């Protein structure tokens, strides 16, 4: 099979030799740490090495290791929800530990509290800046028992014994981040490493669309259709701007809240910064205080605009919505798995 010439700089990021080498180095050093911690406490169940740069909404799991002879159910949550995925850091123990000048610390897990899990987070620094963290997790050895946590000084002593491995992880993490910034065609290290989206949403996503729009576009109503769509786009962008202006501090990572997709569009309402994306009650509260009123204004506004055209045509509008994770792609457009789900729901109706 003939190999097509590749435009310069567009190699598949995850298969670059320098990327693979850096990941291997991080994995080996993380495994060395795990070797020592496995014998320090019966409650220790594993470690994850995260990459994270200041201001980013996500942390990137770059390596992990499970404690020796640990029951699989003790690290099942980590395997299913963290490894191979991007981690939304909002309202997590990791976010707290990554704040400037924050010391290494034990915290109750915000993501996995039902299993009585505690985590110890050790920030990673390279050339004076934080590039990520090592996070060790501790769970009860059996149901109904307590968690045997090491003292902070014991954790510090183990890290001093392995200061070369810890620094090596930090250095290689910084190297990966630099390679990602210089690479073409990827949005971030997370997308370059082809990680799945986070389990937690960061926004409420709404899709509006006009049914049978192709018919209008190719009929003598094309001009009327264009005028109607233009007015609705302008109204919805203004409505969305009102929301984002009211909430001065939103979840990081979303800079544009309205994305025109032709006849329809996606409206993205980023969750306020003070909402926890890992607490079910947060979403019920968000719907009660924000989405109900927003959706009502959305419906009423579109209906009022459509009423002006009712002597000419009567567009049927489809609106679907759900919580989801949203980010910008390499050319600044919004992207989300939830967008595809909402679009398919409208096709099925």
pLDDT digits (tens, 9 = 90+) for 10-21: 889 999 999 999
The overall average pLDDT reported for the chain is 87
Q: Give the pLDDT confidence score for residue 13 in this predicted structure.
A: 92
Q: Measure the CA dihedral 278/136/173/254, to 10°.
A: 10
Please state, in angstroms and rounded to a whole number, the distance separating the CA atoms of residues 326 and 332: 12
Quick one: 180 and 311 in the same domain?
A: no
What mean pLDDT is predicted for residues 164-172? Answer: 97
The confidence score (pLDDT) of residue 321 equals 93
Give mean pLDDT, residues 176-189.
91
- Asked if 208 and 188 sit in the same domain, the reply is no
The answer to whether position 37 is within a domain reads yes
Instruction: Read off the CATH number of the domain in which 20 is found.
Output: 3.30.450.40
In this prediction, residue 291 carries a pLDDT of: 87
Structural domain range at position 281: 203-348
Tokens of 254: 């979303």
pLDDT in tens, 34-87: 998 988 888 999 999 999 998 888 999 999 999 998 888 888 999 999 999 999
pLDDT for 10:
80
Q: Find out whether 286 and 275 touch, Cβ atoms under 8 Å.
A: yes
Residues 253 and 338 both lie in one domain: yes
Residue 289: pLDDT over 70: yes
pLDDT in tens, 76-104: 999 999 999 999 999 999 998 898 888 89
Residues 165 and 237 in one domain: no
Would 277 be classed as within a structural domain? Answer: yes
pLDDT at 197 over 70: yes
Domain count, the chain: 2
Strand partners, 237: none
Question: Is 180 part of a structural domain of the chain?
Answer: yes
In a domain, 73, yes or no: yes
CA-to-CA distance for 266 and 258, rounded, in angstroms?
6
pLDDT at residue 215, as a whole number: 75
Statement to judge: residues 224 and 154 lie in one domain: no
pLDDT at res. 264: 66
Taking only the tens place, the pLDDT of each residue in 232-269 is 989 988 888 887 776 665 555 565 677 776 656 888 88
**Given this model, what pLDDT does residue 102 score?**
85
Beta-carbon contacts of 294 under 8 Å, excluding residues fewer than 6 positions away, are 239, 243, 269
Residues 314 and 337 reside in one and the same domain: yes
170, 192, 214 - which closes a domain: 192
183 and 292 inside one domain: no
220 and 180 housed in the same domain:
no
Q: Using the 3D structure, point to which of 148, 170, 192 is the last residue of a domain.
A: 192
pLDDT of residue 251: 57
Distant-in-sequence, close-in-space partners of 54: CB < 8 Å, separation ≥ 6: 98, 129, 130
Task: Give me the sign of the Cα torsion angle 325, 316, 299, 306.
Answer: positive
Residues 186 and 227 grouped into a single domain: no
Q: Give a yes or no: residue 5 inside a domain.
A: no
Q: What pLDDT, on the 0 to 100 scale, is given for residue 184?
A: 84
Residue 179 has pLDDT above 90, yes or no: yes
Domain of 309: which CATH number? 3.30.70
Of 154, 172, 192, which one is at a domain's C-terminal end?
Answer: 192
- Classify residue 120: in a domain, yes or no: yes
- Torsion angle in degrees (nearest 10) through CA of 16, 17, 21, 24: 60
Residues 185 and 228 in one domain: no
Q: Give the model confidence (pLDDT) of 117-145 as tens digits.
A: 999 999 999 999 999 999 999 998 887 77
Question: Is 74 inside a domain boundary?
Answer: yes
pLDDT at 261: 67
Task: Give the per-residue pLDDT at 343.
Answer: 82
Q: Please report, rounded to a whole number, the percentage of residues in the chain having pLDDT higher than 70.
A: 92
Residues 136 and 272 in one domain: no
Domain assignment of residue 4, yes or no: no
Partners of 46 in beta bridges: 66, 137
Are residues 79 and 130 located together in one domain of the fold? Answer: yes
């Amino acid at each position: 099979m003939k190999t097509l010439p590749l435009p310069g700089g567009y190699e598949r990021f995850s298969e670059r030799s320098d990327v693979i080498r850096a990941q291997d180095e991080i994995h080996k050093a993380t495994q060395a740490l795990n070797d020592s911690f496995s014998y320090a406490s019966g409650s220790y169940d594993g470690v994850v090495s995260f990459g994270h740069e200041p201001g980013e909404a996500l942390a990137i799991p770059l390596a992990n290791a499970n404690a020796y002879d640990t029951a699989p159910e003790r690290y099942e949550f980590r395997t299913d929800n963290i490894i191979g995925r991007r981690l939304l850091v909002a309202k997590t123990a990791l976010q707290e530990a990554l704040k400037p000048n924050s010391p290494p610390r034990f915290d109750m897990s915000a993501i996995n509290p039902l299993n009585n899990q505690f985590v110890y987070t050790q920030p990673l620094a390279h050339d004076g800046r934080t590039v990520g963290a090592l996070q060790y997790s501790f769970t009860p050895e059996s149901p109904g028992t307590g968690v045997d946590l090491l003292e902070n000084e014991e954790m510090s002593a183990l890290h001093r014994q392995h200061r070369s491995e810890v620094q090596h992880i930090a250095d290689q993490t910084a190297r990966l981040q630099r390679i990602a910034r210089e690479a073409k065609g990827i949005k971030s290290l997370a997308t370059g490493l082809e990680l799945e989206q986070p389990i937690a949403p960061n926004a409420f996503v709404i899709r509006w669309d006009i049914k049978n729009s192709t018919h209008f576009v190719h009929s003598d109503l094309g001009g009327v259709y264009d005028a109607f769509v233009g007015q609705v786009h302008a109204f919805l962008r203004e409505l969305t701007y009102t929301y984002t202006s009211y909430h001065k501090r939103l979840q990081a990572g979303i800079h544009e809240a309205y994305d025109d997709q032709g006849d329809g569009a996606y409206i993205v309402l980023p969750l306020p910064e003070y909402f926890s994306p890992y607490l079910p009650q947060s979403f019920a509260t968000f719907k009660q205080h924000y989405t109900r009123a927003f959706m009502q204004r959305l419906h009423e506004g579109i209906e009022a605009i459509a009423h002006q055209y009712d002597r000419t045509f009567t567009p049927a509008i489809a609106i679907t919505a759900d919580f989801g994770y949203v980010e910008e792609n390499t050319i600044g457009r919004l992207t989300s798995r939830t967008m595809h789900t909402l679009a398919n729901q409208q096709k099925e109706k």
